[in-house]
Each structure stands twice: as structure tokens, then as C-alpha cells.
Structure 1
Amino acid sequence: MRLLVAHPSPDVYGSDLQLVETVRGLHQAGQRVTVVVPAHGPLIPLLEDAGASVEVMPFPVLRKAYLSLTGLVRLAAALTVFWVRAARLWRRVRPSRLLVNTVTIPWWILVARAARVPVVCHVHEAEDDQPRPVRLALTAPLLLATRVVANSRASRDVLVRTVSALGRRTTVVYNGVPGPESVAAARSRTPNGPLRLVLVGRLSPRKGTDVTLEALAEVRRRGIDARLRVCGSVFAGYEWFEQELRSRASDSDLAGSVEFLGYVAEPARELEQADVVLVPSRVEPFGNVAVEALLAERPLVASRVQGLAEIVTDGETGLLVTPGDAGDLADAIQRLAADPALAAELASAGRKDAEERFGAERYRDEIAAEVLG
């Protein structure tokens, strides 16, 4: 069987890396896979190594920039070109099935329907904070999909609350995250000794980077020598947010305690050196970084929100805090700083749980069965 996969980005963040595991699963199932992306980028060689051929074809991806009269005109112009390019690609690849790896490129679903081939949509988003008209616009096209796969119960619930008919065709397959070949031992710490904090994620209000800076300032006011390393680049259009973060980090109560590393291709090394990993997202449909931290056997503090609340069992495999609450986040950091034994206990239990529930091989088998079923 020839499969075509449409993916909205050539970058290598959470859903992008998850696509690599999807391709591995399909390749292991004996399928020939072609992935189409809108631009060149670092994801392409990873997909090729996983067994896919890759086509680069510019196509529009739904962004906030289109939510204006001028934006809609630009989108209409881009779609006019898209239909021609998509038809050419379709004739060249001749797929018998299409996988659309997001809700932000619904026109690909229409292409498959016009060609009368099955189409599966893999949902990585849970836009619960969006106005209902926006959620409806993103979700309604899924009614044209043959089946829908969601990466968490939270993602599925958002879909069903928006369009109840999707409940009958949507299944949940938790992401699968490859763990390190070996787990490096955590460094020994004394209670309230120097503390290394790490946050991996795009610079965006949704990821809660601003909350982390305020929590860090509070922890330092309490007398803990905590320092933060932030791994991630900014989303296009959110440059203002990065400027705000850098300005806040230069204030006297944080000066010298925050490092912005930009995009880090291999964040495993940063996680390995962390005393505590933070995932303070305000919205998080799943949270691959949280699983990566657990697999690295590092103490994890995450927001009690959406997919993160499905990954972490509070007080057993990590600590959960109220999203957007810097004081709650500071309390959790202080708790782990003061009790290295608790931190080690949570990290050990977290690793065992993550290996059982979020292993890559389990994911590859399950996603291939859903796409091909």
C-alpha cells in the first residue's frame, strides 16, 4: 500500500518527532510512505531515516495571521495554487490512503475525499481555550475523515465537545517516546542546595515560560540558589513574547539566573543535567517533553492540565501544579529542592510508569493498526 502523509511543518518539536515514530510504525508494517511538508527543514532527514520519501510542496497552514479580512484573501489565493499542486502530487504518488497529521491543514482531507480514498486525521491539538466558532472551524472538517486518532483523552474530549458526532469515529493512541539508551545517574544534592531547572519548549504564552520566570524569582526570594535553562525558539509572530521574557530575566531578582539556549536539537543532554524538569504549560494536549523527562529519570513538575494530567500521577510519578500559578509552581520546586529523597523516589517511579505506558514500540504498533485499519 502507498500512503501519503500531510504534515504542516519541517521543524522538530513534539508532534513533528511523533510523526517520525508514526512513519517507523507504518514502515515496519510493510507500507510505502511518502510525507509532504510545506518547506525544507531538519525534520526531512529524520523522516527519510525512518523509511519515508519526502516531498516538499508549499501549502497553507491555518494560523492566526489568516483571521482577518486581508488574511482570508491571502488564504484564498494560497488555496487556489494549492489545488493545482496537490493534484499534481496526487497523480505522481497515487496513494491508496492519506494520513493528515493535524487539524490545521483541512484542505488535504478534501483532496482525499475528492480522490475517493480513505483519510485518517491524527489530532495533536486540544484548542479548548479558543472561541467556539474557531474550534468549530478547526473540528468540523474531521467529519469528512474516515477515522480520527487523538493523542490523549483531553484531545478527544475537546473534539467531542465541539462536534459530538466525532465521538463514534475517534480513538485515543497515546504518543510513544523513545527513551535514552542508558539513564545517567542524577547528581547528588543536599537539601536546599543549588538547583538546576530545565524547561524545554517553544517560547509561547501557552508553554508558560513567563510563569516559570515568576516562580524562579519567588524560589530565589526564599533563599534557594535555583537557576533555569530554557531550551526552545519562539513561534513566528510571538517575538514580542521573547522580548518580554528576556526583559524580565534581566531584572535584578533574576539577573544571571536564566539562560535562553534557543532551539536545542538534542535536549536529552539538558534533561540529563537537570535537577528538576518543568512543564508549566497552560494548554498541553499531550506533552512529549514530560515523558522524556520521566524516561530520563528526572523529577518532573507539570501543570495539572489536559494531557499532562494523564501522564503524571500527582505525588507518585511527579508533581502537578495549577496552570498559570507561579506561587504553586514555586511551592513544588521548593518541595523538591528541600527533599532530594522525594525527588529521587518520584523520578524512579516516573521512569517505570513511562516505559510501560508511553513506549515507542507500543505506539508504532497501535498507530499503524489505526491508520491501516
Structure 2
Amino acid sequence: MSINVLYSAGMYSVGGAEILFASVFESKELRQLRQAAVVTRRPHDEFIGLCTSSDNLIFGYNDSEESTQQFGNVRIAKAWIQALIRHKPDIVMFWNEIPPAKIRWLIRVFSPKSKLVLYEHGKSWRRSKSEAITRGLNALDAIIANSKASEALLETKHAVRRTTHVVHNPIPSGRAPNSSISRSLTEGQPIQLGLAGRLVPRKGVAAAVSALQELHSRGVDCRLLIAGDGPYKETLHEFANALGVAESCKWLGHVSDMASFYDSVDVLLIPSLLEPFGLVSVEAQSRGVPVVVSRVDGLPETVIDGATGITVEPTIDVSDGEYDKWGAEAIPSSVFDPAIGSLRPARTVDPVKLADAVERIAGDSATYTRFSESASNHALEKFTWGPYSDSFQSICASIVTTRQSKA
């Protein structure tokens, strides 16, 4: 069974959702899918290679009069009409974006048999709760969510009543090792802690820096390597200086070779205030790096608590400490708590508890190696490309079959 899938994708930033889209679009393993895409935003430089190598990418972000067509009171990019006519999609899949009403209307007119699907990667955490959002979501035929937490948030926050399929994000092609990795600590060397993510408050970088200070106060020799960039870089540098740990923090900026980054750290910290899934968690584990993660949103779905890493309950209100001076707009208003199955105000993890978790993992070499082996085995069994491609194709087939059975 061959399925024509037309994606709508932005690719304007380099995040987990965009990296996964590139992997899906370039994959040779999704043999049941015939793929094309409308690029709705000017792509980031990271994806220029993909954009110039494929004939099945159509660029729809030019709003000039020559590139659009008038329909009543609205103008719509001609690229959409071209894509619908050329590719005759069974599924039009919107990558982390709810399609506007005018695009839904256009698809119903030019490709009435197409199934409209949202692939949710976390945008719904940032969308305001409103009747318009709920109507837009329930106007779709199906939703694919990247975690059970995403599915639950769509239901509890946005009152979604459409069929939602859950498939966890895989480790992108080329980033997973070919076989399981078992690591050990190097005697006499500092513990190398890592953090990977944008330098914004919701990633909890301040908590990681504070945990570094706490570990130093306990006499633990450790360093913190930070892969990522963002608008709060200078604020975080000042914070590290104020805590007296600046010399133990290494700010790497944007890192293209993430496999090498994971190989350079012993424990990865993910103290996020909000995290719909947490791709860096499974990437690090695949390379034998145990993780310490916030027990929030989809992060617990990536870890076997106490075996491949440790989850830490966020307990500190974000109005306390450093967060209040960074601006409320930078902090999520609510997050999903998997323990209670509902929304709650965002909180950050206690740096003391974060430090406790690091010591539990890296307190002795034998314990560390057990965590490392379990982490790699877990990630390679559950989050590699093979299981994902099978699940993704099966979901697409199910969506199309449902449409055909109703016809």
C-alpha cells in the first residue's frame, strides 16, 4: 500500500521537531510513503542542503502578488495549489502547526479526499487556551503526538476530541551507535556534566548551574558543559559568575556533532520546566550516558527511573530566585504533571535534589557502569529508527484506512 503524504513544515529553527522532519523526509526506510512538502517559512541554514537536494519540496512562504492567488477576501500561496494538484495527497500532515482555516478550506476544495493531520511536537504547550484553537484542532481528521503527555495535554488544555496516535520521537538517523555502549568513570578525573538545549529559562539551565555549585560545596570535582545558544546567554554567564562556578562552566554554543558532545560527558542534566518529549534524553542514553531529568510532561517517558537515569520532581515555584527577573513571558504558564494527569503551574527542580541524583549515579564506578549499560540498551531498544518507521507508517496506513472505510 503506497500512501501519498504532503507535509507542511517550517524548518526555520533547529530543534527536535525540525531535525526529525528532515530525517523523516530524507528516509529511505519509509517505503510505504511517497513524500512531498510545502515549506511554509524561510528555512534555517542547517536545512539548506535538504532544500536544494529534493524536487519534492515546494516553497510557499513568498507572499508576493505573483506567488499568491486571490480567493474571495483572502490570498493563498500558489505553492499550495501546485502541491495539492501535483501530489494528490492521501494525507496532508502539518508538522507542529495547526493549519489556518483558509488552508483547511483550500485542501477541502482542491483535494477533498485528503486527510488533515497534525503532528504535535510541543507547540500546544505554548498555545493559549481558546475556542478558536479548539475548533482548529477538532477540524482535523487525526492527530499524531510525540508523547503520552502531549496527547493528554491536547485533551485537558485544548479539549481535543479527535483520534490521537502516540509515537515517541526516534534518535535521528546517524546519531545512534550501531551497538550498545558501556561506559565507566575515569578515576581521578572530574565528573563531566552536560546540558543540551536553548539558553532560555524553560530549559532550567539556572538549576543546572546551581547544582554544580552544590556539588562543589560537597567536595565533588565536576564540570558543566553546555551545548546550545540563546537569548539568555549573558544572563546565565552572569549567574554562573555570581555563584563562583564560571570557571567550571564551558559554554559551547551551537553544536553540530552531538554524538561527540554526548561522548564527552558522563551525566546529562535535563532540568527543564517544560519538555513535551526530550529527544536529547534518548540520544544521550543511546551512547551510554545516564540522565537526570525533571519529572514533568513527556520526560519521564524517556527514562526508566532508577535504572537508566533518575527523575526529579520539580518543587520550586518559578517566581522565586533568579526567574522573577527574567520576565514572566519567558516562563511557561502551565505544564502537564504525569503524576496527577492534569495541568499545574510550572516549577523548577531543587538544585540540591539535582545534585543528589548526580551523586547517586556517579557516586562509584560500578553503579555508574550499571546505569550506563541500562541506558544504552533501553534507548537502542525503544527509540531507534527501525521501530519508529514501522509505527509511523502503520499510523499513516490506519489514518488512510479510516478515511477509506468512511467513504
Q: TM-score, normalised by structure 2?
A: 0.76
- Counterpart of 1:268 (choices 255, 259, 263) is 259
The yes-or-no answer on 1:244 pairing with 2:235 is yes
Q: How many residues align?
A: 344
Q: In 2 relative to 1, CA 143–9 (structure 1 residues): closer, same or farther, beyond 3 Å?
A: same
The DSSP-based 3-state class of the residue aligned with 2:265 is coil
Select 1:277's aligned residue among 264, 268, 283.
268
Secondary structure of 1:28's counterpart equals coil
- Kindly state the Cα deviation for residue 9 of structure 1 after the two structures are TM-superposed: 2.3
Q: Who is 1:72 aligned against?
A: none
Correspondences of 1:357-368 after superposition (within 5 Å): 357-368=382-393
Asked if the contact 1:120–1:371 (Cα under 8 Å) also holds between the matched residues in 2, the reply is no
**Would you tell me which structure has more helix in proportion to its own residues?**
1
Contact between 2:308 and 2:375, CA under 8 Å: does it hold in 1? yes
Letter in 1 for 2:383: F
What is the CA-CA distance between 1:91 and the residue it aligns to?
A: 5.8
- Structure 2 match to 1:314: 305
Secondary structure (helix, strand or coil) at the match of 2:356 reads: helix
Alignment of 1:105-144 (within 5 A): 106=100, 108-115=103-110, 116=112, 117-125=114-122, 127-128=124-125, 132-133=129-130, 137-144=132-139
Q: 1:294 offset after TM fit, Å? A: 0.9
Contact 2:193 2:222 (8 Å CA) reproduced: yes
Runs of at least 5 residues in structure 2 that lack an aligned partner in the other structure: 64-72, 315-347, 401-407
Q: 1:129–1:334: structure 2 CA closer, same or farther, 3 Å change rule?
A: farther
Per-residue CA deviations over 1:275-319 (Å, capped at 9, x if unaligned) read: 111111111111110000110011111111121111112101211
Q: Of the candidates 56, 62, 68, which is equivalent to residue 59 of structure 2?
A: 56
2:195 corresponding residue in structure 1? 199
* Structure showing greater Rg: 2
CA offsets 1:67-87 (integer angstroms, 9 cap, x no match):
xxxxxxxxxxxxx88623454
SS at match of 1:309: helix
Q: In 2, are the aligned partners of 1:26 and 1:33 still within 8 Å (CA)?
A: no
C-alpha displacement at 1:172, in angstroms?
A: 0.7
- Amino acid of the structure 1 residue aligned with 2:37: T
Identical-pair percentage: 28
The reply on whether 1:175 has 2:173 as its aligned counterpart is no
Preserved CA contact (<8 Å) 1:228 1:257: yes
Question: How high is the TM-score relative to the length of structure 1?
Answer: 0.82
Aligned equivalents of 1:264 and 1:54: distance in 2?
Answer: 26
Deviates further, 102-111 or 10-19: 102-111
Residue ranges of structure 1 left out of the alignment (5+ in a row): 61-79
For 1:292 and 1:204, locate their aligned partners in 2 and report how far apart those are by CA, in whole Å: 21
Q: Residue by residue, what CA displacement relative to the aligned partner does 1:35-63 show, whole Å, maximum 9, x if unpaired?
A: 424113212434777x7732333279xxx
C-alpha displacement of 1:149: 0.6
Cα displacement (A) at 1:26: 7.5
Alpha carbons of structure 1 residues 289 and 82: separation in structure 2 relative to 1, 3 Å: farther
- The CA distance in 2 between the partners of 1:266 and 1:139, in whole Å, is 39
Alignment of 1:216-231 (within 5 A): 216-231=212-227
Match of 2:17 among 15, 37, 53: 15
- 2:168 partner letter: Y
Q: Which has the higher strand share?
A: 2
Deviations 1:164-193, CA, capped at 9 Å, x for gaps: 452x511111112141235666353348x5
State how far apart, in whole Å, the 1-side matches of 2:99 and 2:358 are: 39
In 2, Cα distance between equivalents of 1:351 and 1:311: 12
Deviations 1:213-249 (CA, angstroms, capped at 9, x unpaired): 1111111122112111111122xxxx2x222112112
Distance in 1 of aligned mates of 2:93 and 2:228: 28
Q: Is the 8 A contact 1:26 1:368 kept in 2?
A: no
Contact 2:202 2:274 in 1 (8 A): yes
